[in-house]
Amino acid sequence: MDAEELLRRYADGERDFSEISLVDANLANMDLSGIELSGADLRGANLRETNLSGAHLASSNLSTANLSRANLSNACLEEADFSDADLGLADLEGANLSHANLWGADLTDAYLIDANCTSANFSMTYLVGAKTKRANFQGAQIDTAIFQREKMLFTDIINRYAVGERNFSGLIVESPNCSRERRSWELGQLKGLDLSGIILRNSNIQQLGPYMNGVILRGADLTRVDFDHSNFEGADLSNAILRETGFFQSVFAHANLSGADLTGAGFAEGSFWCADFSRAKFNKASISSLGFITNNLTEATFKGARLHSVDFDEAKLTKTDFREADFGVKDDIFGVEFRDCHFEETLMPDGSVRNNS
């Protein structure tokens, strides 16, 4: 069953869709109040602004789903998996979240008044601005949840990283140039600094943006970090987690992003010349007004990505997967253009295979 069939059957009065599989389905802005979706597989589904009030989603899998501004009031969400889901501004008033897994979820400004959160897992959950009056957190794992942002000097992070600390989520990271320290940084000062595996989820590092060229962030968790106007030229971000990050007018020339997870990221007007994106995941990413020039995109995936006004120049597209990607209007100025690229078993949006002739 696909999303269209579910909506048709729901409109006809059917309500029980238990254990259905709708991975990555688009159900945004729909009225599905009172629906029965217990045990459903909704990983990565788009449920933004959807009305799920009174719905039954017990034991369902909603990991990485987009539920921002969704209405989940009085819903049964017992033992549901919301790991890494976007629940920003969601209405969870009176919802039953007992034993639910919300690891790493974004609940910015969410409405949790009167919610039953007993024994739920809120580890690494972002709860800044969340309304929690009369919510029951008895037995919940909440010690690493982030309720407010704190400021920390990047030099302090470096020192604490050196002695083994790794989790610096939810921080506003400051450079000496914008702090009490009586010294300033120069471009290239952090080149070669190894912060592999650091966790900076939901952190603000914009003050560091100009100085990040050549930094080593292999395997770092940078989920929902804003990289707008940053300079990561020559940086090593291989196998880094960059889900839902922002890349507006950013420089990543000659950077290594092989194996990086860029799911749901936003790219616009940046410079990625000669960057290595082999095996990178661009699934559900929004990419516009950008050129991939001389990039290695071997085995990169673009499932569900939106690419408008994007040029691929002399790019290596061996086994690159564009299936289900949105290329805009064909031959339109807002579409996608390939120039002098290497095609080898490249999967195009319609499922066809393209090779160099």
Report, as ranges of residue numbers, the positions in the chain whose pLDDT lies below 70.
Answer: 177-185, 329-333, 357
Strand order in the sheet with 336-339: 246-248, 266-268, 286-293, 306-313, 336-339
The predicted structure's pLDDT at residue 329: 65
Q: What is the pTM for the complete model shown?
A: 0.88
State the distance between the two ends of the chain, measured CA to CA, in whole angstroms. Answer: 38
